[in-house]
């Protein structure tokens, strides 16, 4: 198969993956809207976008119901107030500021809305956060009501908002929930939240810094990231091995050095960009998991095609300059035994080269040449000044 044909097929495969992901995403969104619309009637609510808003009877609170993909159903309860928090069932939330990742220092006064704005805290730090916003007894009561240990909350100046998991429900189970069941669950949380919002903070200067390590990546996400970033390195290594067998370099050392220098730069830069974009952009989007997995496929495929194009250019396949032919003589040949026989041919230096030049040949070529025999070969200049044999050695008649 020609290299350009291979690149075209790989490009079509990448486009196919993107198209399938987009189609699946659109179907999921349509299904989500249908689920929410079916709940709107019994709760006397209305669907706005991807969220259902309904007011509970005889309470000043509003409840919003939503379902994120295959994850748990969420109820967003909005409570009037000037300071608040959000507890969310999101494993992908993280600090917006890289500086805050390094640890927070104690403020000179009680945390105000500017200090608390967009400050995310992991579930492991809920106890520490209780000293700032919560009464410990109210915190314990809320923790007992929550149905999963993976929660986050965000302090917000716009009001007190609480996001809780109704349950890890499938769509049919979500539809089976009755309004009374939902109201009963919400009523217990209202009582606990109301108690927690009562002013109860530590004296000035006793706010403890939050742990930055708990805010970073969980174990599962770290493993996915390690696999995604290692794929380009593995692909580059495989390509270097294949290129050494496919092309005829002037010396194995020059081949591996040139290929390695070409592969390292795009791989390292691409992996760093993938980490940066994956952490700072995708995780802020509602379909972050889906996008993250799509780009996990795109990144190694991109490196794969880039390395093939680079090797083709380095070998002169895309170089329009004509080959230069030299005449030299065979000064040695040798058979290396290991996993099969490997044949090499040593040629005398030409055009100012220092020392003999040795490269691999086939068994048939090995039998054709004799020491002292004159040969001609075509050479092209590749990237970084490395020369490549574009025409194999031919015996001079």
pLDDT given for residue 87 in this prediction: 29
SS (H, E, C) the chain: CCHHHHHHHHHHHHHHHHHHHHHHHHHHHHHHHHHHHHHHHHHCCEEECCEEEEECCCCCCEEEEEECCCCCEEEEEEECCCCECCEECCCCCCCCCHHHHCCCCCCCCCCCHHHHCCEEECHHHHHHHHCCCCCHHHHHHHHHHCCCCCCEEEEECCCEEEEEEEECCCHHHHHHCCHHHHHHHHHHHHHHHHHHCCCCCCCCCCCCCCCCHHHCCCHHHHHHHHHHHHHHHHHHHHHHHHHHHHCCECCHHHHHHHHHHHHHHHHHHHHHHHHHHHHHCHHHCCCHHHHHHHHHHHHHHHHHHHHHHHHHHHCCCCCCCCCEEEEEEEEEEEEEEECEEEEEEEECCCCCCCCCEEEEECHHHHHHCCCCCEEEEEEEECHHHCEEEEEEEEECC
pLDDT at 344 over 70: yes
More confident residue, 380 or 138: 380
- pLDDT tens digits along 66-75: 444 444 444 4
pLDDT at 315 over 50: yes
pTM (2 d.p.): 0.29
Instruction: Write down all domains in the chain, each with its CATH number in brackets.
Output: 33-215 (no CATH), 219-314 (no CATH), 324-395 (2.40.50)
More confident residue, 335 or 239: 335
More confident residue, 84 or 182: 182
pLDDT at 123 over 60: no
pLDDT given for residue 341 in this prediction: 77
- pLDDT tens digits along 38-68: 655 555 556 655 555 554 444 444 445 444 4
Averaged pLDDT for residues 169-181: 53
Which pLDDT band, with edges at 50, 70 and 90, does 84 fall under?
very low
């Amino acid at each position: 198969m020609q290299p350009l044909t291979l690149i075209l097929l790989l490009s079509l495969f990448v486009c196919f993956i993107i198209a399938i992901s987009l189609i699946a995403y659109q179907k999921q969104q349509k299904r989500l809207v249908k689920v929410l619309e079916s709940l709107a009637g019994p709760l006397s609510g209305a669907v706005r976008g991807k969220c259902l808003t309904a007011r509970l009877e005889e309470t000043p609170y509003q409840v919003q119901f939503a379902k994120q993909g295959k994850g748990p159903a969420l109820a967003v309860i909005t409570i009037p107030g000037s300071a608040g928090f959000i507890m969310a069932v999101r494993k992908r939330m993280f600090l917006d500021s890289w500086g805050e990742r390094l640890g927070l220092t104690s403020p000179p006064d009680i945390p105000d809305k500017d200090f608390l704005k967009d400050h995310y805290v992991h579930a492991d730090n809920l106890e520490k956060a209780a000293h700032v916003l919560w009464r410990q007894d109210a915190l314990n009561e809320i923790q007992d009501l929550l149905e999963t240990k993976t929660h986050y909350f965000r302090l917000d100046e716009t009001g007190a908002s609480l996001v809780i998991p109704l349950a890890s429900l499938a769509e049919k189970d979500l539809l089976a929930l009755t309004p009374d069941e939902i109201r009963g669950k919400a009523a217990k949380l209202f009582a606990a939240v109301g108690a927690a919002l009562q002013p109860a903070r530590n004296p000035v200067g006793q706010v403890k810094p939050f742990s930055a390590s708990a805010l970073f990546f969980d174990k599962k996400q770290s493993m996915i990231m390690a696999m995604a970033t290692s794929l380009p390195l593995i692909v580059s290594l495989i390509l270097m091995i294949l290129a050494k067998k496919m092309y005829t370099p002037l010396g194995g050392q020059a081949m591996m050095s040139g290929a390695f220098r070409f592969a390292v730069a795009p791989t390292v830069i691409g992996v760093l960009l993938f980490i940066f974009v994956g952490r700072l952009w995708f995780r802020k989007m509602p379909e972050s998991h889906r996008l993250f997995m799509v780009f996990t496929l795109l990144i190694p495929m991109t490196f794969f095609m880039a390395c093939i194009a680079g090797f083709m250019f380095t070998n002169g396949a895309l170089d329009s300059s004509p080959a230069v032919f030299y005449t030299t003589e065979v000064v040695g040949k040798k058979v290396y035994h290991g996993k099969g026989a490997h044949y090499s041919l040593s040629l005398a230096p030409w055009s100012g080269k220092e020392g003999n030049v040795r490269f691999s040949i086939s068994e048939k070529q090995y039998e054709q040449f004799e020491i002292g025999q004159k040969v001609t070969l075509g050479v092209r200049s590749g990237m970084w000044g490395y020369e490549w044999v574009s025409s194999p050695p031919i015996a001079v008649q």
